[in-house]
Amino acid sequence: MESVIHLSDISFNWKDNTTPLFNIPSLTIQKGEKVLLQGRSGSGKSTFLHLIGGFLSSNKGKVSILDHDLSVFSPAEKDQFRADHVGYIFQQFNLIPYLSVIENVVLPLRFSTIRKSKVRKEVNTEAEKLLLKLGITVNLHGSEINTLSVGQQQRVAAARAFIGHPEIILADEPTSALDSYSKAQFMDVLLQLCKENNATLIMVSHDETLTSYFDQILPISTFNSTSEALENNHLPFI
């Protein structure tokens, strides 16, 4: 299988704390894999996503995405690489309140000619297709973001992440605002979109009911271990 993410000899700590939050001898994630990172609140799950997404840099080691070493990029190059290849579903959504639903979804295409070139239809048509798959009806597509419920905003954020077919989807607690029925619907669509795009999904959540949706479950505590399993990159399945 083709590797899309590889972490090697990673150590990360915050400036005001000399104790490493992560020690990762080696971790490889393959193309098309669906990976769930689990752990309690405040355990570093979101920080891990930020390392992969290039929002944070490790104190030591190498993060390679699609065979590119992020450490050699300038901040501007890192931003562009992320815009071209990574769709991000933020925990706080990060939607633009003064833009409509459609305008929020197509926004990544303004910053990436690569993703825009992958859109086979007119960009608004592609956005509408994604929104409908995620349960956002046509009558809401022109609405302002602040008129939508929290759950609806979360789905808009997911549509924005997938527009332009990025190779990697990073999702930070995307089901946290959904009830059980809506959560199951959302996960089914999320995995279907990943399958259609052959995208790799890395999602963080504390919700143990989601494990059946994923190929691999990574407890955040594993990243603080130097066990033989981690060193050999055979991380535990749950």
pLDDT tens per residue across span 3-19: 999 999 988 888 777 77
Lowest-confidence pick of 79-93, 176-190, 194-208: 176-190
Give pLDDT tens digits for 170-194: 999 998 878 898 889 889 999 999 9
* DSSP conformational letter for 55: S
- Residue spans of the domains in the chain: they are 3-231
Residue 133: its pLDDT value, please? 92
Give pLDDT tens digits for 52-81: 888 888 888 899 999 999 989 999 999 999
Residue 235: its pLDDT value, please? 35
Residue 234: its pLDDT value, please? 37
Residue 224: its pLDDT value, please? 67
Model confidence at 127: pLDDT above 80 = yes
Distances from the Cα of 9 to the Cαs of 39, 59, 88, in angstroms? 21, 10, 25
SS3 170: strand
- The strand ranges marked E within the chain are 3-12, 22-30, 34-38, 60-65, 68-69, 86-89, 168-172, 200-205, 216-219
Single-letter amino acid code for the residue at 110: R
Query: With bands split at pLDDT 50, 70 and 90, how would you rate the model's confidence at 28?
Result: very high
SS3 219: strand
Q: In the CATH hierarchy, which top-level class contains the domain 3-231?
A: alpha beta
Model confidence at 102: pLDDT above 60 = yes
How far from the centroid of its chain's Cα atoms is residue 65's Cα? 13
Q: Average the pLDDT over 222-231 and give the result.
A: 48
Please, are residues 171 and 193 in contact by the beta-carbon 8 Å criterion?
Answer: no
Query: With bands split at pLDDT 50, 70 and 90, how would you rate the model's confidence at 232?
Result: very low
